[in-house]
Amino acid sequence: MAETRRPRRRRPRAGEQRGAARPASPAPDPDGPVVELEVERVAHGGVFVAHHEGRVVFVSDAIPGERVSARITDRRHDRFWRAETLGVLRASPDRQDHVWAEASVERAPGNRAGGAEFGHIRMDRQRALKAEVLRDALSRMGGVETDVEVRPVDPELAPGVAPDGTGWRTRVRLQVAADGAVGPYAARSHTVVPVASVPLAVPGLAALAPLDGRFPGARAVDLVAPSVGEPAIVVVDAERMPRGPRPTIEERVGDRVFRLDRDGFWQVHRGAAATLSRAVQDLVDGDLFDPAAANLDLYGGVGLLAAAVGDRFGRAVRITTVESDAGATEHAGANLADWVGARAVTARVDRFLDDAVQGSTAAERPRWHDATVVLDPPRSGAGRQVVDRLAELRPRQLVYVACDPVALARDVGLLRERGYRLADLAAFDLFPNTHHVEAVARLTAIV
């Protein structure tokens, strides 16, 4: 039986605004002109670059090297237009049958399910395109020329995930239409489309998804499959915050179990938490790490990456995890109880760093200069204010976990201007069949 809940309201992370609405995409123009386009290269955001009569056109559902028939859906901008592929006139050898039939180019654009915008591309080419976007962003915005390979998740860390990039999502949100029907939003819109499958979901969720159900009055239906315990259907039915304790779940990473609120943040790929824990452990330079310094885990959630640092360097490691969500911080304190030097602080990251800068005496500065800082900001990145404060504290090394290549590149550029260099970079395909990519970068202070 499905459980009903009201959505929580969490304190926004740094860079987010309380009460900010999700930007609405402009309604596609169903009567826009149909043109033929030569697709040239990939762009950030899961779209591809073409030109028409000298103007840049960002077109979806294509592959570089293809010729497609496309409808121009947005002509509001002078410098570029947006388009949706209607048909493929000359296919790339990397085109495959879409892993999600309901998202295929065979469907009309307004009925294509969103959330699998690379599912028509062979897996090796998907990763090459993601690496291209990351390299290009770092070059243009970060001022860094570097090569990078987007690596698949180790199959040992993600049992059940198929080689074609299906079966990995442990959290799925189904939207609810006015008539109570459920489904994903259509690509680049807020229109709910019916589907018969959710192939990116882990098998337990795919079997549980109530795709033929009706939920009148609900806002959404959340499907959650923790690594410990049974999957659940949760009906989100109102705007008000619930009273009393929130349901919790447990997630296992290696030999450790993390407790968190069921509607709290956790990496969505079955193997993502273990992959990122291992990556952070690998990228921290042990020669630069001081276990007694004022080490930080910023935007720390329930303590996943602080625990990764503690597991590598021992129980006496001093590390403070900082998170604006009070519920997550409470769980972090319990999840990090093994480490005598660990503590969890509820605070916005920018304000915490403001206090650290203002409260540091000359005698305390060496604690910061010797520190290692791990940060895993939201999609918008850390931003100028946080980067400025970090540069003032001047930690030895930063290990930056990023889910958006453009935000990462911008912050790498800001840090370069403030005396840091990009020393190492790893990237992982934690979102197969989508355009998203996760990167972990290590930056070190230039002496």
The residues that are catalytic are 403
Three-state SS at 323: strand
Residue pointed to by tokens 């940060």: 375
280 within 8 A of 272, measured Cβ to Cβ:
no
Instruction: Give the largest CA-CA distance in the chain.
Output: 69
Q: Which two tokens mark 425? A: 């970079």
346 within 8 A of 329, measured Cβ to Cβ:
yes
Residues in CB range of 375: below 8 A, 6 or more apart: 296, 297, 298, 299, 349, 382, 386, 398, 399, 400, 401
Say if residue 420 carries a ligand binding annotation.
no
Q: Which helix (H) or strand (E) holds 89?
A: strand 80-90
How far apart (Å, rounded) are the C-alpha atoms in residues 164 and 146? 28
Q: Which of 278, 272, 280, 294 is nearest to 424 (CA)?
A: 280
How far apart (Å, rounded) are the C-alpha atoms in residues 106 and 306? 46
Say if residue 267 carries a ligand binding annotation.
yes
Residues facing 174 on adjacent strands: 221
The whole-angstrom distance between residue 147's C-alpha and the CA centroid of its chain comes to 21
- Treating both helix axes as pointing N-terminal to C-terminal, what angle do 304-313 and 272-283 enclose, rounded to 10 degrees? 50
Say if residue 323 carries a ligand binding annotation.
yes
Three-state SS at 297: strand
How far apart (Å, rounded) are the C-alpha atoms in residues 256 and 246? 22
How far apart (Å, rounded) are the C-alpha atoms in residues 64 and 126? 11
Q: Which of 87, 91, 76 is nearest to 34 (CA)?
A: 87
Q: DSSP letter at 22? A: P
- What count of Cα atoms within 13 Å lies in the side-chain half-sphere of residue 143? 9
The separation between the first and the last C-alpha atoms of the chain, rounded to the nearest angstrom, is 60
Q: Which two tokens mark 174? A: 């189904």
Amino acid type, 297: D
Say if residue 281 carries a ligand binding annotation.
no
Write phi, then psi, for 70 (nearest 5 degrees): -140, 150
- What count of Cα atoms within 13 Å lies in the side-chain half-sphere of residue 125? 16
Q: Which of 17, 14, 20 is nearest to 382 (CA)?
A: 14
Numbered residues of the known binding site for S-adenosyl-L-methionine: 267, 299, 323, 376
